[in-house]
Amino acid sequence: MQTTPRERYLEALTFGQPERVPLMPGGPRESTLAAWHSQGLASDKHYLAALSRELGLPIEAFSGPVGVDISTRMLPTFEERVLEHRDGHYIVQDWMGAITEISDTYDYTYIRTAKDFVTRRWHRFPVESPADWEVLAWRYDGDAPERYPVDPAAAAEGIHASGCAAVISINGPFWQMREWMGMEGLCLAFIEQPEFIAELCDFWQRFTCRVLTRAFDELPIDVLQISEDMAYKAHSMLSPAMTRRYLLPVYRAWVKLAREAGVRVIDMDSDGEVSELIPIWIEAGINVCDPMEVAAGNDIVAARRTYGTQMGYRGGLDKRALAAGGSVMRTELERVVPPLLETGGFIPSCDHGVPPDISWPDFIAYTRYLAELLEWL
């Protein structure tokens, strides 16, 4: 009997018995799609629909989780407006209240969402002192109706009808404080203003727990996705000791709520080399992490040997090998996919957004071989 995309996804990540592991090769950014359109992907065709036709597979094979319309953003957001346009750059007040600079090669709304691999420069952040925070905090009202579906029953019915796992996404405390204070300001505050950091973490825990409690009460949620980007090449951005002191209590509060609501997957998303952080995430009760970037120093096969079934993974396939194509690509897939499939708790994918140096023909060839390894072909 065929299982649903929801069952495949949850079983694959929780060391269960999926009929087959979902085929999730990775998603392109805007510049990647532009390159693919010049390399044979029809401009009016979604890349997954094109892959489905090219490989002769049902589109359901590519089905991942569906996002649930729950918001923990500040409400209202700041007005986005261009403050200056000079020397080929926009200087913008963004929706978070930060003053940000971006090349005018892009529309300034690229600041709003990660549509592409775009470098930005930040000039100022909205929270530079506890006084600034007092001015900003009112925007985080956990009871604001705009945070939730207008008709929860209809939203729940839509989730069930999709046949897919339902995911709520929230910012981790490190990510959120970085949005408020900026990377430099945040790192200095951990040293110079520890009481303020503790206050912000406590606020974020209380606010998000209020939102999650209502969401879990009203909707059938399967996955809690935490966006935390707190590592770079070779190391984490915050020491394990500080992570345990300030962030771990927040993670534990979320895990407790989620588990009580029957949420099966709690997925930590952090770029960079995360080996110093995985033990802390396991301690918190988090059971999946991604994208396990190889270029940053992660080795997903070694991580499985170290942590066994305490942690599941998504990602882990070196984007550089996928770009090389041919035997290099196949060697990378053979290195990673069979040994992790043997133990479970794994959905293989490109180890971040698919970059434009992975050509459309090479992406098809990679997806075809991945489908073979996962027994879709």
Specify the pLDDT at position 116. 84
Position 292: which residue type? M
Query: In this structure, what are the phi and psi dihedrals at residue 239, rounded to the nearest 5 degrees?
Result: -65, 155
Where does residue 125 rank: exposed (0-12), middle (13-18), buried (19+ CB within 10 A)?
buried
Q: Answer whether 319's CB lies under 8 Å from 354's CB.
A: yes
Which structural domains are found in the chain, ordered by start? 5-75+127-373 (3.20.20.210), 79-125 (no CATH)
Give the C-alpha separation, 222 to 265, whole Å: 6
Tens digit of pLDDT for each residue in 131-157?
999 999 999 999 999 999 999 999 999
Give the C-alpha separation, 19 to 264, whole Å: 18
Give the C-alpha separation, 87 to 363, whole Å: 37
327-342 per-residue burial string, b: 16 or more CB within 10 A, e: under 16: eebeebbebbbeebbe
Specify the pLDDT at position 106. 86
Tokens of 145: 């109706």
Q: Which residues of the chain have pLDDT under 50?
A: 1
Specify the pLDDT at position 93. 95
Give the C-alpha separation, 268 to 170, whole Å: 10
Q: What is the DSSP-derived secondary structure letter of residue 355?
A: P
Give the C-alpha separation, 7 to 18, whole Å: 7
Give the C-alpha separation, 243 to 230, whole Å: 10
Helix (H) or strand (E) run with residue 224 in it: strand 223-227
Average pLDDT, the chain: 96
Residue 360 makes CB contacts below 8 A (sequence gap 6+) with: 35, 36, 39, 40, 41
Tokens of 308: 């066994």
- Cβ–Cβ contacts within 10 Å for residue 191, how many? 9
Specify the pLDDT at position 143. 96
Specify the pLDDT at position 2. 56
